[in-house]
Structures are given as structure tokens and as C-alpha cells.
């Protein structure tokens, strides 16, 4: 039998055996067919790869090598705020870059750089898998690919661009030395602070030439490459600072793993704090602060990344209203700056700073911010910083949480009429940590309602009420209203959280009060209306999709409106009385923190919400300093300069607009305007018991008459905001008043029998720990 005959016989046997198989099995291809198909596909892929490799050229350097300006506009779409984006870059040769810095970059960005061929298939597959499995979007790009993207291509996130990047990276790796590629990458990368390239970054962060960088400094610059703006520890939010330092540690640990650094030398390194950001030309006055708020919004909302934004060419229409922005600057100048005399009072009238933000409640649009006097002289945006405690401006959140809870642990309802013991330094019961906060001036207020306690900003009452509402519920309410969940001072394991140890920014706080003004509907404040850029390649206009800015249900309407009704009394009868000069219905709350380290006023009308914070800061150490003595005043409360600035700004900002009154649907046992404000004092009940709502038929205390539809609230007498003598109550909550009982007044505690407990000043950078710092009222 010949060979051919044997082969034919074998094939016949295989066919016969296959015909004997079930139908479903015969439909499946044989292994020979599968193998043949796979080999064919691989050959086609290899051929296609070879063709693409040949036809995709290494292009000339792209237009990004000469980055364009970004143009920022006010909300009218024509008035220019600033132009930014001019490239700050000086190329250097690889031998001018310390070897330790080179190794740090390799450790941070591409640990296979010296071994790979321009791409890392394992890294790409791993990144793709991590993205698919929800571990975060992963790039998987090598240093060579990033260099190609920066120098030859664009930042566009498209499959076509990614494909070209891969083939060009392969060619560049074949045509260029690794050191040449690394130098190109370091000279074209963005490091934040407007610095392109390692040389500019060395000057921007350490004020030195790149050749003088230490190991630790080089490792920090390498860490910045992942998130340049977010990882700038001098301006980053607390959570991002921690991430930046973690990235620095990751970089150094990688150098040990790769054999670039010994474990002993690694252990000796400490984090190298960079210098403060230096002034940027062209952003003087308020322009730099407005640009900072817009940039922060664009990057934090994920609309575009920092590198794409800094590449330039964008036309950015913001939400800022120029007349309102000018009004904010004017109000600070007239109400505060003109009152300061640094020459006569050099220890108290210097380094006084203001943080402010103004937001439309119905939309969340940021119409104005105050980040400082002049960005060219002070390149810190105080409107965005998150390191100042907000004090008693947190108390409305305590009240809202109590209204949401509807009852205290003892089963009695929490309403604005619930009575509490206002004795100064009364120990809070039921809290996770011991806490006995003093009232301002150590005054005992006696048996008072939550409404009256808000008006007088009584610490002992709201410290207890927050615990009764549930600290976890208080925190949840704060986050829903708009306080970021990662700011310091929001730990429900600390009883002191109830009095405002949280440190949201002025813009964050404006969002919280805007939600109250908007009947419990919360918007995250936003600051960019439109973003567009001319595509130089196609001539088309790139217009990234902007978020929808839909409101979220932070509180039900009755709860939010009840809190607003109480906050109206703070203006008409309490610590925010200076806001009566606005001549319109308004609501708000003052806040002054422990040791007088900051003072706040957060308030709103139906159309506009504004916050103003005041603090002093050492310009070298950035440690907070007491406000006492500023402008010659013994103490700076939220009801002084912050409220005066707020009133002056709101007067101009609302000039010519309709006078609107609050449309409130109060509930939770709130009697609203039917209450008669107390004119005489009566002894509190001597029997301690849990708080209840007022007895039916009684005339409840605690609120001022609601302004009529034809007139704005009248200013109280000069002594309206001052406490008057009255008895103290012996319990956290006291029985409801009888029909003949009036609201008790405050009793100053004799100084010889009690001295207020001093608390050391908080540092500028360290958040409260343990039993947190006690903010004081008002």
C-alpha cells in the first residue's frame, strides 16, 4: 500500500468515526480546524502589525510643544477674567538631572522602563483587567508611551490615538537611547504650578536648579507626575496631601526593590516640604482665585484632567458674575481692610484673611468668591481651603438632624420648642467622649428652647441636642447637605463634632446653606458654564459634556424650612443682627471657634446664599493665630466683621432685584411666627426630665414675629443681642412650659466662682484628634 493510499484510508476512517458521533458533536469544529483558524488569525494579525509598523511614521513634534493660552470669561461670555497657559519650561540634558531623580521617576512611573521595548504588554493587560474589574481606570502606559503622547501626539482619549501611540513608541524605542527618551519625557511632562519639565518643576517647588535636587526632592517631583495639581501638598486638601505622601513613599520603596537605593538610605529619608507657590504673572487681583475655583471644579468633577487643561487652547466661560465679584471685593475693603492699622497694631492687624463664597440656592451656580486680596501677592485661594473650623455655623445641621430623628433617645420629640438646660459647661450625657463646653462669656441661660439657643448660640444646648439626635445622623445630615465626608472634624466618635470642629471650605459651607435656602434640595456648587477648544487638526470645536447639576434630596422640605425659620430669628433677634441692615428678609448663623481662631457668618435670602470666614495666619508657619485685638476689638465674633462684610456684599449684589420673602412650610412641631418673644424672665422648673414639645394651648417662647409682606425686619435695640439675667436649669432637657411661663433669660456666672478653661490654639495643619477642639459661640 502506497503512502497516498494509507493517508486516504486514515481520512476515510476519521470521516466514518465523525459520522458516528451525535449531531451536536459533529457541528463542533475539530482541533485541526481550530488550530488552523488560530494560526491563520495570528498570521493575519502579524502581517497587519508589520504593515502598520511600517506605514505609521514618527511625526514631527506637535503643537503642544508650544502650548496655547486658556481664556477665562465671566458669565456674560465676553468679559475676560484672565489668560493662562503660556508654557513655563526650560529643557535640560539628561546629564544635568541627578541619577537619583531619574531612578525615582522610573520607580514611580514605569519600573520596566530599562527592560521593555517601548510598550509593556503585561502592564497593559493588567491595567485593562483592573479597569474591567472596577479597581479604577488604569493607563498601563510606559514612560516611552507617555513621552510619545506628550511630544508627538495629543491628550485625546481615543482608540486611534492610543493605537498610533503604541506603534510610535515601538519605533522611538528602536531609534532612541533610553536616556534620550527619559530626558524627553522629563522635559515635556507637567508637574503642576504651571511648570512643564523637570527644570521648571525644581524651581517651582524647591527654588533650585534641577542639578541640585536631593533624593527626597526628586522622589516628590516624581510622585507629582501622577496627579500634579492634586498632589501639591501646599495647596492640596487634607485627603490629597495624604495620598501625595503615600505616593512619595511608594516611589522610594520601589527604588529599593529595583536596586537603586539601599534599605538603610531609604529609612533615613524624610518628606521634603516644598516651598509655597510663587505668584503667577497675569493673575493679579481676584483673577487668580477665580481661575483656581474654575480649574478645581473642572478637574475634581472629572470633566478634563489637569494636564489636558494646562495644555491650553480652552475658552472657559465661568459662572462668576462680574458686578457681584466686584461687590465682594469692595465689601471686604470697606468693612474690614479700611478698619485695620498694621502700623499702629502690628501684632493683631497683620495677616488677617477672609474666605468667602456666594452661590445661587436654586441652581448651585457660584456667582462670586473671595480668595484673598491679590493673587499676585498671596497665591493661596482661601475660598477653597479646608483647614478652618466653622464653629457654630454647624448648629443648624445639629438641629436638622434632630428634626430628622423626630425624637431623642428618651422618646420625646425634638422640635425648635424642645427645652434644654443652657448651663455653661454642663456635661453632655450619652456622648462617646467626655465633653462640657462653655458658653460664650461662661453665661448660664437656664431652661431654654432650641430656637432661643440658636438665637443666642448656646453651646451647652446644641452639644447635648446633637448627641440626642445621634452623632452618626448628624454626620450623615452634614454630608447630604454638602460638607465633604473627608474633611477633618467630622468623626462621630468625638462628641465635640456637634459644635463645628469640621473644616469645610467657604465654598462647601455656602453649598450647605444654599440647600437650606432651597428647601432641602442640595446642589454641589459649580463654576463653569461652558468649555470649548478649537481642534487644530480637524478645525472642529471640541465641547466636552458638562454635568447636569441635578439637585439631590438632602432634607425634606418641612425640615429644611423649619431650620430656616429658626435662622431668621438669629438675624432678627440674635447674634446676626448686623444683617438687618440688608433691609430684606434674611436667615443665617454666626460662628466663632475656640481661642477666637476663626469667625464666620453664613446666611441667605431666597435668591442668594453667601458665607464669610475670617482668620489670621502666620505667613511663614501657616499656624492659625487668634483674632482677638484685630482692629482694636477685644474679641472678633461672627456677628462683627463677617456679618458686616456679608451685609455690605449682599446689599450691592441684590440691588435692583425683587425683595422676596421666604416661602416656608414648617413642621416638626414648629409654631413659627405665632410665638411671642420673651420680655420677662421666669424661673425654670426645678424638676429635671426629658424635653417635650410645649403644652397645647401655651404661648411657646423662642421666635420673633415673621416679617410682613410689605416691610423688611426692623433692627432691634442696641442690647437685643446681649443676654439678660435669668435662672439656670439643672437638667439637659426640661419639661415643657406651662401656658403662663415665659422664656427664661441668661445669667452671667460670677467670675470668682468659675473661670473659663483655656484651650491651646490649634495648628494650621493638624486636624483635631481625640476630644476635638471646642468651638465657641456665637
Q: What is the pLDDT of residues 471-511, one digit of tens each?
A: 999 999 999 999 999 999 999 999 999 999 999 999 999 99
pLDDT at 14: 74
The percentage of the chain sitting over the pLDDT mark of 90, rounded to a whole number, equals 57
Weakest-pLDDT range from 42-51, 187-196, 427-436? 42-51
Per-residue pLDDT of 588-619, as tens digits, reads 999 999 889 999 999 999 999 999 999 999 98
**pLDDT tier at 312, thresholds 50, 70, 90:** confident
More confident residue, 622 or 132: 622
Assess contact for 465 and 690: CB atoms under 8 A.
no
Q: How far apart are CA 398 and CA 462, in angstroms?
A: 7
pLDDT exceeds cutoff 60 at 517: yes
pLDDT at 245: 96
Average pLDDT of the chain, as a whole number: 82
**pLDDT tier at 702, thresholds 50, 70, 90:** very low
> Measured on CA atoms in the order 374, 378, 384, 386, is the torsion positive or negative?
negative
Q: How far apart are CA 497 and CA 769, in angstroms?
A: 11
pTM: 0.75
pLDDT at 761: 37
DSSP letter at 623 equals -
More confident residue, 307 or 385: 385
- What does the angle CA 208 – CA 212 – CA 216 come to, to the nearest 5 degrees? 95
**pLDDT tier at 130, thresholds 50, 70, 90:** low
- Alpha carbon dihedral 171, 177, 181, 187, in 10-degree steps, equals -140
Phi, psi of 190 (to 5 degrees): -95, 130
pLDDT exceeds cutoff 80 at 361: yes
pLDDT exceeds cutoff 50 at 274: yes
Assess contact for 91 and 187: CB atoms under 8 A.
yes
pLDDT at 616: 94
**pLDDT tier at 742, thresholds 50, 70, 90:** very low
pLDDT exceeds cutoff 70 at 250: yes
Weakest-pLDDT range from 124-133, 424-433, 589-598? 124-133
Per-residue pLDDT of 24-57, as tens digits, reads 766 677 666 777 777 777 777 666 656 555 555 5
Assess contact for 703 and 745: CB atoms under 8 A.
no
**pLDDT tier at 158, thresholds 50, 70, 90:** low
Q: How far apart are CA 381 and CA 365, in angstroms?
A: 18
pLDDT exceeds cutoff 90 at 146: no
How far is CA 684 from its chain centroid?
44
pLDDT exceeds cutoff 50 at 756: no
Highest mean pLDDT among 16-20, 137-141, 159-163, 245-249: 245-249
Looking at the chain, how many residues does it have? 778
Amino acid at each position: 500500500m502506497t503512502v497516498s493510499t494509507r493517508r486516504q484510508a486514515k481520512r476515510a476512517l476519521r470521516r466514518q468515526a465523525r459520522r458516528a458521533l451525535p449531531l451536536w458533536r459533529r457541528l463542533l469544529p475539530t482541533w485541526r480546524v481550530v488550530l488552523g483558524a488560530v494560526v491563520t488569525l495570528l498570521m493575519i494579525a502579524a502581517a497587519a502589525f508589520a504593515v502598520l509598523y511600517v506605514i505609521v511614521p514618527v511625526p514631527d513634534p506637535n503643537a503642544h510643544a508650544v502650548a496655547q493660552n486658556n481664556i477665562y470669561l465671566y458669565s456674560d461670555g465676553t468679559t475676560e477674567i484672565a489668560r493662562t497657559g503660556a508654557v513655563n519650561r526650560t529643557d535640560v540634558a539628561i546629564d544635568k538631572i541627578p541619577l537619583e531623580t531619574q531612578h525615582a521617576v522610573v520607580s514611580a512611573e514605569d519600573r520596566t522602563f530599562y527592560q521593555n521595548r517601548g510598550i509593556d504588554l503585561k502592564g497593559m493587560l493588567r491595567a485593562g483587567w483592573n479597569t474591567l474589574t472596577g479597581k479604577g481606570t488604569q493607563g498601563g502606559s510606559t514612560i516611552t508611551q507617555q513621552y510619545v503622547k506628550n511630544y508627538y501626539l495629543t491628550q485625546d482619549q481615543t482608540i486611534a490615538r492610543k493605537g498610533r501611540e503604541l506603534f510610535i513608541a515601538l519605533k522611538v524605542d528602536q531609534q532612541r537611547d533610553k536616556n534620550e527618551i527619559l530626558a524627553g519625557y522629563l522635559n515635556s511632562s507637567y508637574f503642576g504650578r504651571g511648570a512643564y519639565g523637570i527644570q521648571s518643576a525644581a524651581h517651582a517647588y524647591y527654588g533650585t536648579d534641577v542639578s541640585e535636587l536631593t533624593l527626597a526632592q526628586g522622589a516628590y517631583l516624581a510622585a507629582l507626575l501622577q496627579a500634579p495639581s492634586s498632589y501639591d501638598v501646599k495647596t492640596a486638601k487634607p485627603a490629597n496631601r495624604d495620598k501625595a505622601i503615600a505616593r512619595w513613599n511608594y516611589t522610594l520603596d520601589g527604588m529599593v526593590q529595583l536596586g537603586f537605593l539601599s534599605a538603610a538610605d531609604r529609612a533615613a529619608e524624610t518628606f521634603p516640604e516644598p516651598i509655597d507657590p510663587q505668584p503667577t504673572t497675569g493673575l493679579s487681583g481676584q483673577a487668580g482665585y477665580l481661575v483656581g475655583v474654575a480649574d478645581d471644579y473642572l478637574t475634581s468633577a472629572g470633566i478634563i484632567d489637569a494636564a489636558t487643561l494646562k495644555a491650553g487652547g480652552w475658552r472657559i466661560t465661568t459662572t462668576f458674575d462680574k458686578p457681584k465679584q466686584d461687590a465682594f471685593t469692595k465689601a471686604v475693603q470697606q468693612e474690614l481692610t479700611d478698619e485695620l492699622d498694621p502700623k499702629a497694631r502690628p501684632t493683631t492687624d497683620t495677616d488677617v484673611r477672609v474666605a468667602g463664597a456666594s452661590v445661587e440656592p436654586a441652581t448651585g451656580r457660584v456667582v462670586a468668591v473671595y480668595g484673598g486680596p491679590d493673587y499676585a501677592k498671596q497665591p493661596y485661594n482661601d475660598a477653597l481651603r479646608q483647614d478652618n473650623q466653622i464653629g457654630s455655623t454647624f448648629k443648624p445641621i445639629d438641629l436638622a438632624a434632630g428634626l430628622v430623628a423626630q425624637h431623642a433617645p428618651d422618646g420625646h420629640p425634638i422640635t425648635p420648642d424642645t427645652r434644654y438646660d443652657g448651663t455653661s459647661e454642663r456635661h453632655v450625657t450619652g456622648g462617646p467622649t467626655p465633653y462640657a463646653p462653655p458658653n460664650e462669656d461662661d453665661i448660664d441661660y437656664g431652661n431654654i428652647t432650641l430656637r432661643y439657643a440658636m438665637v443666642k448660640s448656646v453651646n451647652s444646648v446644641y452639644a447635648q441636642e446633637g448627641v440626642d439626635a445621634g452623632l452618626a445622623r448628624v454626620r450623615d445630615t452634614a454630608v447630604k447637605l454638602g460638607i465633604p465626608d473627608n474633611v477633618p472634624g467630622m468623626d462621630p466618635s468625638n462628641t465635640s463634632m456637634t459644635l463645628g470642629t469640621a473644616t469645610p471650605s467657604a465654598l462647601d459651607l455656602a453649598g450647605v446653606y444654599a440647600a437650606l435656602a432651597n428647601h432641602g434640595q442640595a446642589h454641589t456648587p459649580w463654576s463653569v458654564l461652558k468649555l470649548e477648544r478649537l481642534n487644530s487638526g480637524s478645525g472642529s470645536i471640541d465641547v466636552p459634556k458638562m454635568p447636569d447639576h441635578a439637585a439631590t434630596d438632602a432634607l425634606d422640605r418641612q425640615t429644611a424650612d423649619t431650620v430656616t425659620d429658626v435662622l431668621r430669628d438669629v438675624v432678627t433677634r440674635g447674634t446676626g443682627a448686623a444683617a438687618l441692615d440688608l433691609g430684606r428678609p434674611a436667615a443665617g448663623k454666626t460662628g466663632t471657634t475656640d481661642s477666637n481662631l476663626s469667625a464666620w457668618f453664613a446666611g441667605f435670602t431666597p435668591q442668594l446664599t453667601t458665607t464669610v470666614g475670617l482668620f489670621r495666619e502666620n505667613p511663614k508657619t501657616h499656624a492659625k493665630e487668634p483674632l482677638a485685638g484685630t482692629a482694636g476689638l477685644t474679641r472678633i465674633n461672627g456677628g462683627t466683621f463677617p456679618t458686616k462684610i456679608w451685609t455690605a456684599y449682599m446689599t450691592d449684589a441684590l440691588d435692583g432685584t425683587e425683595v422676596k420673602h421666604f416661602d416656608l412650610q414648617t413642621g416638626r412641631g414648629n409654631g413659627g411666627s405665632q410665638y411671642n418673644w420673651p420680655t420677662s424672665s421666669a424661673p425654670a422648673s426645678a424638676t429635671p426630665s426629658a424635653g417635650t414639645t410645649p403644652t397645647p394651648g401655651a404661648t411657646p417662647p423662642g421666635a420673633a414675629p415673621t416679617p410682613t409682606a410689605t416691610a423688611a425686619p426692623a433692627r432691634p435695640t442696641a442690647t437685643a443681642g446681649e443676654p439678660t439675667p435669668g435662672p439656670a436649669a439643672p437638667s439637659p432637657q426640661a419639661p415643657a412650659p406651662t401656658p403662663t411661663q415665659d422664656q427664661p433669660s441668661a445669667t452671667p456666672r460670677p467670675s470668682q466662682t468659675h473661670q473659663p478653661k483655656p484651650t491651646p490654639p490649634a495648628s494650621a495643619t493638624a486636624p483635631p484628634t481625640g476630644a476635638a477642639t471646642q468651638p465657641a459661640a456665637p
